[in-house]
Amino acid sequence: MQIKNEQIEVYTKFFHGLSNPTRYRIILSLIDSPKNVGELADDIGCSQSLISMQLKCLKWCNYVKSLKDGKNIYYSISDERIIDLLKLGQYITEGNTDKLSTCEILKNEKCNDC
């Protein structure tokens, strides 16, 4: 499969966008229904400022979209294929959890926001 270097950069950035635990939790939280920042903060257990910062990235990169309803802004997943991708990733990792959990390189890149 021939892929240009510029495309590889974009593809890896796409997956990097999902590699942050808080951003991943936000996406999971939005699978069931749209939520505002306060609802996401309660659901995930992080501060509203952290949720807002991560939503800025998710919205900019088009993982989520927003809809203003009065004073509230509700966020939802922008493309249903993102849900399919998460389910596929979870399915693939089911038999590979030990290897992923003990990878020294990935361990050094670990990020926990909350």
pLDDT digits (tens, 9 = 90+) for 63-111: 999 999 999 999 999 999 999 999 999 999 998 888 888 888 877 775 6
Full residue range of the structural domain in which residue 11 is found: 5-108
Q: Sign (positive/negative) of CA torsion 98, 101, 29, 24? A: negative
- Which uninterrupted H or E stretch holds 65? strand 64-69
CA atoms of 81 and 84, how far apart (whole Å): 5
**113 domain residue, yes or no:** no
Is 114 a domain residue?
no
The structure tokens listed for 80 are 């249903």
pLDDT, tens digit, 9 for 90 and up, residues 12-67: 999 999 999 999 999 999 999 999 999 999 999 999 999 999 999 999 999 999 99
**Tokens 């294929």 appear where?**
81
- How many structural domains compose the chain? 1
Which pairing describes strands 64-69 and 72-77: parallel, antiparallel, or unpaired?
A: antiparallel
The pLDDT assigned to 101 comes to: 87
Q: What is the CATH number of the domain that holds 23?
A: 1.10.10.10
